[in-house]
């Protein structure tokens, strides 16, 4: 029996899942770690805590299965993307808290770059928009603000990495300082066409190249875990950013294949093959993965608040006790009774990119009740996804026929049905919705020779449920028209 250990390091928790050679989940362990909010709009993590949490859950998954570390054929790593860690090369200690992807501390600097007309410069090189979301301005912030950081980086004493690099560096006992193409493409420092760190951008941000990791394929014999960590040397055979990993786990291997993850946020990716398609509609161009030196690109649209809206109904409004009960409550009413919720809690992401927009509940009449509001929340998740899909269709000039869904909120059948209705396309959900961890396992298994072809992988994670559109075109148009009016209200300026 061959075992693959997938390390799924998310934004709020670290997970370890052991897959067998038929792709079945054999053992899982998960642990949450601390979120730090030192100022309004700032989000930080403790990188040491993340590493400890990740290794602890890995050990737990191994021991619960009753195997030893030496039985593991390969490790695959998938991670929260864009988050920045800077550490001392000699002591291995981070020099400051990790600056998390959600952190908005570089908003003003990003506004300045935009006012200076730098949007095209970054888009052409990195495929990205100028936004605090990506790593580059966060790294610059650390070098500008942590005492002596830039000086020490110039002397070659400091290393930078996204969470994948940090984990690999720690797992290999400081031997390998690497990242993969998918993670590098989220830093705003990597040229996705020449496949190199971009010297002009590094100069603009005053970032010494010596602190950046070497960029590798996403699958293959990438590094070896030091025997002191788990008691045995284990090859690390995959690294991929969480969304790209989910795209792989959903078997979106062909150009035009689309997946949407309904997690805390919503992330839609479309495989665009060997072409880096530029978006004219507020999406970003990114690298899906690099295998055998061949790059596959993707178009991506990120929605900041998806399942988090349901958490808000539960934790802040107290309208529900569990996320799951929203499904039956939404079904208890025929419609949202004209209520729309625009969850622009931290501004709007794709395709609007308005960080000043704020959330709103609109269209409330005397007859609107709790169930209408809950239904409107689930509908909002579907509407946001629809806006991203429409942008993708416009960018690629074809009408998409199917999207593959995953993530916690994809378990909600009402949401999936409404999504199919409002998109007017088939929404399918695979057997295993742990597609992020599965993608890393697939990439690692391919790298280690456990699996040999895409076809073999497709058989492992076939879609089991498909939701078909059922409403009329006029009904769809009416609902979408109301949604777009609501969105425009949240973007109005005084």
**Chosen residue from 67, 146, 323, 360 binding ligand ADP by CB under 6 A:** 323
Residue 411 in contact with ligand ADP, rule: CB under 6 A: yes
Binding residue for ligand ADP, selected from 53, 234, 310, 405, defined by CB under 6 A: 310
How far apart are CB 486 and ligand ADP at their closest, in Å?
A: 20
Those residues whose C-beta lies under 8 Å from the C-beta of residue 180, and which sit 6 or more positions away, are: 164, 215, 216, 217, 218, 222, 238, 239, 240, 241, 289, 290
Which residue lies nearer to ligand ADP by CB, 263 or 347?
A: 263
Q: Is residue 10 at the binding interface for ligand ADP, with CB under 6 A as the rule?
A: yes
**Does 80 interact with ligand ADP (rule: CB under 6 A)?**
no
Q: What is the DSSP letter of 213?
A: P
The token pair that represents 8 in the structure block? 């799924």
By beta carbon distance, the residue nearest ligand ADP is 408
| Residue 12 in the binding site for ligand ADP (CB under 6 A) | yes
Residues 81-140 that bind ligand ADP (CB under 6 A): none
User: Looking at beta carbons only, is 411 or 456 nearer to ligand ADP?
Assistant: 411
Both ends of the chain: CA-CA distance in Å?
A: 64
Q: Which stretch binds ligand ADP (CB under 6 A): 125-133, 165-173, 305-313, 395-403?
A: 305-313
Helix (H, G, I), strand (E, B) or coil at 461: coil
Supply φ then ψ for residue 223, to 5 degrees. -165, 175
Window 245-284: contact mask with ligand ADP (x via CB under 6 A): ------------------xx--------------------
Cα angle 104, 108, 110; round to 5? 80
The one among 59, 408, 456, 463 contacting ligand ADP by CB under 6 A = 408
Min dist CB 328 to ligand ADP, Å, is 10
Query: Does the footprint of ligand ADP cover residue 35 (CB under 6 A)?
Result: no
**The one among 220, 301, 307, 445 contacting ligand ADP by CB under 6 A:** 307
Residue 338 dihedral angles phi and psi, to the nearest 5°: 80, 0
User: Taking the complex as a whole, how short is the minimal distance between the CB of residue 315 and ligand ADP, in angstroms?
Assistant: 9
Yes or no: say if 45 and 98 are a contact pair by the CB < 8 Å rule: yes
> Could you give the CA distance from residue 450 to residue 454 in angstroms, rounded to a whole number?
12
How much of the chain is in helix, strand and coil states, percent to nearest 5? 40, 25, 35
Q: Report d(CA 305, CA 291) in Å as an integer.
A: 32
Pairing of strands 463-467, 426-430: antiparallel
Residues between 325 and 344 with contacts to ligand ADP, criterion CB under 6 A: 326-327
* Other beta carbons less than 10 A from residue 393's beta carbon: 17
Positions touching ligand ADP (CB under 6 A) are: 10, 12, 263-264, 307-308, 310-311, 323-324, 326-327, 407-409, 411-412
């Amino acid at each position: 029996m061959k075992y693959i250990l997938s390390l799924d390091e998310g934004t709020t928790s670290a997970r370890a899942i052991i897959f067998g050679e038929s792709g079945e989940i054999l053992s899982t362990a998960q642990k949450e770690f601390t979120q730090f909010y030192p100022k309004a709009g700032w989000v930080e993590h403790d990188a040491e805590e993340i590493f400890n949490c990740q290794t602890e859950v890995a050990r737990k998954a191994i021991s619960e299965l009753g195997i030893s570390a030496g039985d593991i054929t390969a490790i695959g790593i998938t991670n929260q993307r864009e988050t920045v860690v800077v550490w001392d090369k000699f002591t291995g200690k981070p020099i400051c808290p990790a600056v998390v992807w959600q952190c908005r501390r570089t908003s003003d600097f990003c506004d300045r770059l935009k006012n200076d007309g730098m949007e095209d410069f970054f888009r052409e090189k990195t495929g990205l928009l100028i936004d605090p979301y990506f790593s580059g301005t966060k790294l610059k912030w650390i070098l500008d603000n942590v005492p002596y950081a830039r000086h020490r980086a110039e002397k070659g004493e400091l290393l930078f990495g996204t969470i994948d690099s940090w984990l690999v560096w720690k797992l290999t006992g400081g031997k390998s300082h690497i990242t993969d193409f998918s993670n590098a493409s989220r830093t705003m420092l990597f040229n996705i066409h020449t496949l190199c760190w971009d010297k002009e951008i590094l100069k603009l941000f005053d970032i010494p190249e010596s602190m950046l990791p070497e960029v590798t394929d996403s699958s293959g014999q990438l590094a070896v875990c030091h025997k002191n960590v788990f008691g045995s040397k284990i090859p690390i055979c995959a690294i991929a950013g969480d969304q790209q990993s989910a795209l792989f786990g959903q078997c979106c291997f062909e150009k035009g294949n689309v997946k949407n993850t309904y997690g805390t946020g919503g992330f839609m990716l479309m495989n665009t093959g060997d072409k880096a398609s530029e978006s004219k509609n507020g999406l970003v161009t990114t690298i899906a993965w690099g295998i055998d030196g061949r790059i596959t690109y993707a178009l991506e649209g990120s929605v900041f608040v998806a399942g988090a809206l349901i958490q808000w109904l539960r934790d802040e409004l107290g309208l529900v006790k569990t996320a799951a009960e929203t499904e039956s409550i939404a079904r208890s009413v025929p419609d949202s009774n004209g209520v729309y919720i625009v969850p622009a809690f931290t501004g709007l992401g794709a395709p609007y990119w308005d960080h000043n927009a704020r959330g709103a509940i609109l269209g409330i009449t005397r007859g609107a009740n709790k169930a209408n509001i809950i239904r409107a929340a689930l509908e909002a998740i579907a509407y946001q996804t629809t806006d991203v899909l429409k942008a993708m269709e416009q960018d690629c000039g074809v009408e998409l026929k199917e999207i593959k869904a995953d993530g916690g909120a994809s378990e909600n059948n009402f949401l999936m049905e409404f999504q199919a209705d409002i998109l007017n396309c088939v929404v399918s959900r695979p057997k295993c919705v742990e597609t992020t961890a599965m993608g890393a396992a697939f990439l690692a298994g391919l790298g280690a020779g456990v699996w040999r072809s895409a076809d073999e992988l497709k058989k492992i994670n076939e879609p089991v449920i498909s939701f078909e559109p059922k409403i009329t075109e006029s009904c769809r148009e009416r609902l979408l028209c109301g949604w777009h009016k609501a969105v425009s209200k949240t973007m109005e300026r005084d």
